[in-house]
Each structure stands twice: as C-alpha cells, then as structure tokens.
Structure 1
Amino acid sequence: MTETQNGAELCFPQLFNTSCRKLTPPWFEVMLIHILLYSISLLTVALNLLVIISVSHFRQLHTPTNILLLSLAVSDFLVGLLLMPGEILRKTSCWFLGDIVCTLYKYVTAIILASSIGDIVLISVDRYVAICDPLHYTTRITVNRVKFCVCLCWLCSLSYSFLYLKDDLTQTGRYNSCYGECVFVIEYFIGVMDLVLCFIVPVILIVALYLRIFAVAVSQAHAMRSHITAVTLQHSVTPKAKKSELKAARTLGVLVVVFLMCFCPYYSVSLAGDNLVNASAAFYVLFLFYSNSCLNPVIYAFFYPWFRKSVKLIVTLQILQPGSSETNML
C-alpha cells in the first residue's frame, strides 16, 4: 500500500502504516446508496415495531402462531435497528467503533440470524401440527409451550453464537489487517458446522414439513369440496375451521418461501467464497437477506386482516384508550 498525500485517503491519518484506506466513490453515489439503504433500515424498524405492538397489546392476538410471529418480528426489528446500519457502516466507510464493538456486532449478528432461522422452523412445525394433526393441535401447541420454545430458541442462539465466535470474543480484532475495518473470518471447521446446522438441516426440515402440509392440505380441500361428512366427523373439525387453518398455512407458506428465497443466495455466496464472488455482489446478497426482515410485515399486511386493523388502531392512537387491549381483532 502506497502512502497517500497528507494521509487524505486514510481512515486514521495519524497511523500512516497501519490505517486502512477510505473508500472514495463519487459523493452522489455515496449519498444515493446511503439514502436507499438507511430508508430500508428505517422501514424495517417501523413495520416490525407495528407487528410487535399489535401482538403484544391486543389480547385476542395472543395465539401460539402469533407468538412465533412476534419472536420473528423481534429478530427482524433488530436486523433493521442494528444489523443493517452496522453493515452499511462496515461496507461503505471506515469502521470507527473499535475492535470490541466490531466483535460484539459479529456476536449480535450471529444471534439474530440463528434466532430467525429457528423461528421459521418453529412456524413450519406449528403449521404442520395444525394441518396434519388438527384434533390434537390445541392440546399439543399451547401458548405456554410456544413461549417456552421461543425462549429456548433464543437461548440456543446465544449459546451457539458464543461457540461460533468464542475465539473472536477472546481475541478481538485478530483478523483485521489494518485500523478502520471490521472483517468476518470463519475457520473451515466452524464454517462447515454452521453450514450444516444453520442451512442444510433447517432447509431440509422446512421443505419436508411444507411438502407434507401441502399434500394434506390438498387432501383436505378435496374432502371439503366433495362434502365428505365422514372425514369431517372423524377429525372433529368443521369445514370452516379447516378453511381457516388452510388459509393460515398458505399465508405462512408464503412467508417461508420468501425467507428461503432471501436465505439461500446468502449461503450460496458464503459457500462460493471471496475468490468467486466480488465484495459488491456479496454485500448486496447479504442486504437481500436482511431485506427479508422488511418483507415479512408486508406479507402480514397482505394476508392478515387483523394486522391491517391493528395498524389503523396504532396509527390513530386508539390503543391508548382504556380497554383497547380487549378489542375484537378477528
């Protein structure tokens, strides 16, 4: 690296030999990128905050499925609040926050991504039981059990991320080649383990569950169209209830498909490595993955009338009225 005049292109001009270079693209391009990316980040925070307030405030929405959506919304909220701004800073300018904050940022990133994957798996399991074993759904999938599973999911994410980044936590900044950068370097064995636990196993499980859900849903839809009374009596579920569960499965199926569409390119780039994928492409693929956190509330708005109603009540501040938590949302 050659020295620049007066250190004008260095992150830390006083450290000529160890400072990273500043990125110096045209100012208009920098401004446009920052406005676009920070707008997505702000929108992600706002939309997921609406989901969090909706499910938390209205008592009628305290269902097992919605508790899982609440956990996913918390993950998505943190993506917009912490991960997106951190990634913008890390990729488009110098890292001025130091090695300790860099390491904590990596740790928080791993926790949030692992919990998001866990939530999607739990949502798939919830729909599997609702569609494939409706007779025992209310006894097997209770609010308390779902809350326990959500807490366990976050606890496992905390533990897994600690094991995943324990060397970084004890030796902060060991992979940084100069002052002013925050790099993610994963050792081969840990990378393989992460690939299996956070990509291959969850994807296989999610796809298998939804293939089974699809098969049973088609069978149930055929039964309803044919007015088979025996099937209805056997499962003790009315056609209306079945239709409601099928609609919920379809909605959450869209959620899972969108997640996989954003999730798979991220791990594909990770598998390809730096030699096959340039830094710009890797950054935009990562931001595509993060943008999934913004898309989830949009999916709720399209498919869930209760979400549209709750947003209206929140925006008009009607939730501040006494007894608003008992509002009929369904």
Structure 2
Amino acid sequence: MMDEAELCFPQLLNTSCKRHTRPQSESMIIYIPLSFISLLTVVLNLLVIISISHFRQLNTPTNLIILSLAVSDFLVGLFVIPFQILLTEPCWILGDSMCCLFFFLGFVTMPSSEVNMVLISVDRYVAICDPLRYSTKITQKRVKICVLLCWVSCVFYSFMILYENLKQPGRYNSCYGQCVVNISGAVQIVLAFILPISTIVVLYLRVFVVAVSQARAMRSHITAVKLQSSVTVTVKKSELKAARTLGVVVAVFLMCFCPYYVTSFSGYHLMMGSSTNTFLNSLLLLNSCLNPVIYAFFYPWFRKSVKLIVTLQILQPQSSQANIL
C-alpha cells in the first residue's frame, strides 16, 4: 500500500494523485524569481495604466493601445503568474473549478497581448507608410472600438478553446490533485501564434523599410529644409522614434513568445511541471514585465509621469493638465 504521506489527499487512497517531492533549492529557484516578476509586472503596468488614464496629454490613439496592452500585462502579473507558481506545486489543492477559471483567464490575457501587438503594428504601419492620412484613419474612436473588439474576441477565443473543460471541470484529470485541461493544439498554434506573429512581422518589415528610406532622405536634405517643412521633419522624427520604440517592444515580444510556440509546433511533448516547461512558460510571462521597462528607457513621458505619481503630485487639482511631453 502506498504511504499516505506520498498522496496529495490521503483520505482518497484510491483516487488521489501521488505527491512528487522536489528539492527545496529547486523550489526556491522557481518561486523567488516568479514571485518577483509577478510583483514587478503588477507595479510597473499599474504605473503605465495610471499615467495614460490620468494625464490628458497622453490620451493619444497609440497610447490607448499601449494602455490596453498594460491592462492585459497587469492581469498577467496579478493572476496568471501566481497561477503558474501554483501549477509548479506537486499537488493542486484549489479544486477543478478554480483550475478552469485560471486557465480561462490565461487564455484571455495572453492572446490579448498578442492582439494588442498587432494593433500597435497596424498603428505604426499607417503612421510611417501613410502619414498624411494617419490622423483621419487612426482616430481615438476607432482605436477604442478595435481595443473593445480585441478583448471580446479574446474572451470568445478562451471560451471556445476551453468549452469542454468549462462544461465539466476536471474531466481530463486522471486523479484528484491534478490541474489538467485539454485543448486543440492546432487551433491554438494557428490562432495564437501563426496569424498574429505573421501579421506583426509583415507589417513591421514594411515599417522598417519605409523608416530607413525616410531617415536617409531626412539626412540628405536636412541642410536645405525650410522653416515650414522643418515642422514636418520634426513630426516624422517623432513618428520614427515611436516606431523604433514600439519595434523594440515587438522584438522582445517575439523573443519571449516564439520559443514556447515553436516547441509546441515541433511536436515535442513537455511534461507539466518539468524544468523546460517551467522555463518556457516563465519566458512567456516575462514579456508582460519587460514592456513597461522598455517604456521607462525610451519614453521620457513615462519617467516624468512616474515621478509625479510616486511623489503623489497627481492628487493635486488640475494635475491631469500637467505638461509631461
């Protein structure tokens, strides 16, 4: 007879999962970094959310997409990363319904980050490739509609891909103490990887080609620019800088997401809770923490707004009108 200490639920001798022990040093290597990433992700993205929501100067179409991205990253730090920490435990003790709920939240927030990246790519594509009509094509109203559709589609995607699991939570568990769901790998790879990644890459390749040609033209004609056209050059420089910054965001996104999906696409089977699986999931989740770090390095307005937030100056009257650009 199996020792009761080796079972997740000793009172369920015949149906309980076996408790797999892990060295304490390995547990600390997993728990401490993931806990730190979770806390940092929540704090940094909350600063982005407060900044763009509070200061009126930041209420631009591009920043509204960044706001949506920060909300999805904030939810990843608040719910998904702690869930990932719990999944590394030998036994799942929160029940089948909570298992499905956490997976549902994960399949809403992670794809929403990808869709927001697609929206960012479209925004930069229009700004660089069709600058004269950017203000008429990319309006706040249209961006708000696109962001709303982004979240609605991600909720629908999560419900669709987890339908059988939500209808009967725990149906794919082989014993009590597991948190397992069954999804269609092909559907996930196509909808959550191939379509968004290919769209992002194609758009940003186009943006890169046009941005390089514009930068060369600006350098070759900079001495002959008149006062009126110099304003146009300044606008183009700001758009190019925004494209470069958001290009870094997209590049980091690809580096964090591709290893996980490429491994899945290769057909290589990863055991739940294994070191490789934990590393790939952690890399996937790390992206949500890195986005606001990139803003801090490349966006002066983010550093200024954080200073006003931390010093509580945003509590003063008319602080939303502050000039931080």
Pick from 112, 116, 124: which aligns with 2:121? 124
Pick from 286, 290, 300: which aligns with 2:285? 290
Check if 1:323 corresponds to 2:322: no
Unaligned 5+ segments in structure 1 are: none
| Alpha-carbon distance, 1:269 to partner | 2.3
| Alpha-carbon distance, 1:34 to partner | 1.6
Q: SS of the counterpart of 1:227?
A: helix
**Alpha-carbon deviations, 1:106-141, whole Å to 9, x = none?**
111111112111000000000000000000101110
| Alpha-carbon distance, 1:192 to partner | 1.3
2:162 touches 2:182 (CA, 8 Å); kept in 1?
A: no
Check if 1:142 corresponds to 2:136: no
Check if 1:214 corresponds to 2:208: yes
* 1:175-324 alignment, distance < 5 Å: 175-186=172-183, 190-227=184-221, 238-273=232-267, 275=269, 279-324=274-319
Percent identical residues: 64
More displaced, 250-259 or 279-288? 279-288
Q: Distance in 2 between matches of 1:231 and 1:131?
A: 20
Aligned position for 2:50: 53
Aligned position for 2:159: 162
TM-score by structure 2 length?
0.94
Q: Distance in 2 between matches of 1:162 and 1:296?
A: 27
Q: Distance in 1 between matches of 2:259 and 2:25?
A: 29
Q: SS of the counterpart of 1:8?
A: helix
Aligned position for 1:3: 2
TM-score by structure 1 length?
0.93
Residue correspondences, number: 324
Q: SS of the counterpart of 1:275?
A: coil
**Alpha-carbon deviations, 1:163-182, whole Å to 9, x = none?**
11111111111111111111
**Alpha-carbon deviations, 1:183-230, whole Å to 9, x = none?**
2322xxx32122112211111111111111011111111111121799
Which residue identity is paired with 1:148? I
Q: CA RMSD in A?
A: 2.2
| Alpha-carbon distance, 1:277 to partner | 6.9
Check if 1:153 corresponds to 2:147: no
Q: Distance in 1 between matches of 2:225 and 2:185?
A: 48
Q: Distance in 1 between matches of 2:26 and 2:316?
A: 46
Which residue identity is paired with 1:215? V
1:269 touches 1:277 (CA, 8 Å); kept in 2?
A: no
